[in-house]
Amino acid sequence: MDFKEHVIELIMNITELDRETVEKSIEIPPDEKMGDFAFPCFPLAKVMRKAPPLIAQELAEKMSDDEAIDKVQAVGGYLNFFLNREKFISETINAVEKAEDKWGSSDMGNGKTVLVEYSSPNIAKPFHIGHLFSTAVGNSLARIYKHLGYDVQSLNHLGDWGTQFGKLISAYKRWGDSEVIEKDPINELLKIYVKFHEEAEKHPELEDEARDYFKKLEEGDEEVTALWKHFRDISLVEYQRVYDMLGVKFDSYNGEAFYSDKMDEVVEILRDKKLLVESDGAQVVDLSELNIPPCIVLKSDGATIYATRDIAAALYRHRTYDFYKNIYVVGIPQSLHFKQIFEVMKKADWEWAKGCEHVGFGLVKLPGKNMSTRHGDVVLLEEVLNESIEKTKEIILSNGSAVDNVDDAAKKIGIGAILYTFLKNSREKDIIFSWESMLDFEGESAPYCQYGYARGRSILRRAEGIDFKNADFSKTVSDEEYALVKQLNGFADAVKAAADKNEPFYINRYVTNLTKAFNKFYNTNPILKDDVDAETKKARLAIVDAAVSVIRIALGLLGIDTVESM
């Protein structure tokens, strides 16, 4: 039974209000002592020509006989609904058990494709801690949309094209050592890339050389193209190692280069629709009526830019996937860029453009400075993950924890701690990089939630042999038991809210609150003690089983693994 839906229908039947009015008006009281749901009677005052407190009292008397409702109280102008705890707990726990990994899922996405573009590192450059923001948010959103029944395609739009590759090729031909680069590809390529910029400040003519090399790349020069492909291939091998650590998988690695031969059609379409106008020699789409700067499609020298490629990519994705949503998990500094290209696509009368969404996120900052690959100021993501794993392993060993596989547990807990840090707040908030805060395992953290799961699993292992299916929940209606089961019941709402707002932190906040409720339940309600009667023991074990199942599912939507013992 959907208890909220039941209360809505009850109010509709007795007041004859329409569904929309009731759904908008019904509330969750701020204090549990005020009930599970509240309905303000003020909208009925004009119709019934009575004061809201009198209306509430009258309606409460008519709602006294309902198996799902324990009582209805009139308080001021509100109707406060108290659910039948035994029925609520019984139906919720049984539903979690039946749903298994599908708890909180939905079929709302059936037949609809959602594209999620995220991570998108620039090849031949280090995979630094800043890339984790896009990777963590995008991976979580992909999992959330899948849970809601959508066909999700994860896209890694690699930065594998542009004048920077002319610079890298120039640097490689001047200072590159193939044997050294093969041993440590990304770091060595970064070194020569940084050296190029240092030298170019003293010898500006190097910039011209770089442009010439990129021109050769665009023209398909055999030697230059072979070098570019080699840089791309060795970069992907390096990146894949990090993706494997994070449990991240992509359906496509089509980067900017993939769309380089698809831009001429875009230019022609925009020209045929008379959207292109000249501005200082460049071809632009005027967006002044929207108070947005013009979107440059062709520079004054006839070259295309990011906007041209992104429009070409969107058109290709529409034709290939016929998407319902095309989500770009890209930093907030690119907000104007996406506003421009979305408006250009709408001006081109592409109806599907309304499904394109920019999901922005904040910056990852080093204390006192910003990260820059141009100057070599980066914190490598792989180093952060490995450091977290090693620190976690030290904690496990020092605590003498009974963990079967220390290395596996350290990996899951250490990486989980980092992911949780990036997903615990609204994605638009900046993160100041700090080893101390990243590796803080106390308080609200992934290890806290993982420990709650492990504790529950330990209880269930010790209860092996006790059949708690079809338990009697008549004795498990304490405040702590009821509060925990209400948390379990709210998972679907959290998943939907996360998708509606493209904010994984709704799941993060949910699983943290769920773990808190589980710990409070565990600490106040004995489960396996001898003085607990058999039926109560079974009911509480069923609640534990449901709680750990939902903790695992929720953490999974964040890309965080659970461990059986800690």
Exactly one of 4, 125, 424, 486 is catalytic; name it. Answer: 125
**Active-site residue, 262 included:** no
Exactly one of 4, 128, 325, 391 is catalytic; name it. Answer: 128
- Give the end-to-end CA distance of the chain in Å, rounded to a whole number: 36
Q: How many CB atoms lie within 10 A of CB 442?
A: 7
In whole angstroms, give the CA distance from residue 438 to residue 429: 15
Residues in the chain: 566
In whole angstroms, give the CA distance from residue 455 to residue 224: 57
Q: Are strands 356-359 and 325-329 parallel, antiparallel or unpaired?
A: parallel
In whole angstroms, give the CA distance from residue 521 to residue 481: 6
**Active-site residue, 375 included:** no
In whole angstroms, give the CA distance from residue 384 to residue 388: 6
Q: Taken in order 550, 553, 559, 564, is the CA torsion positive or negative? A: positive
Q: How many CB atoms lie within 10 A of CB 286?
A: 15
In whole angstroms, give the CA distance from residue 429 to residue 363: 8
**Active-site residue, 125 included:** yes
DSSP character string of 376-404: TB--BHHHHHHHHHHHHHHHHHHHT---S
In whole angstroms, give the CA distance from residue 56 to residue 79: 6
Question: DSSP 3-state assignment of 227?
Answer: helix
In whole angstroms, give the CA distance from residue 546 to residue 566: 20
Those residues with Cβ within 8 angstroms of residue 516's Cβ, 6 or more apart along the chain or in another chain: none
Catalytic center residues: 125, 128, 131
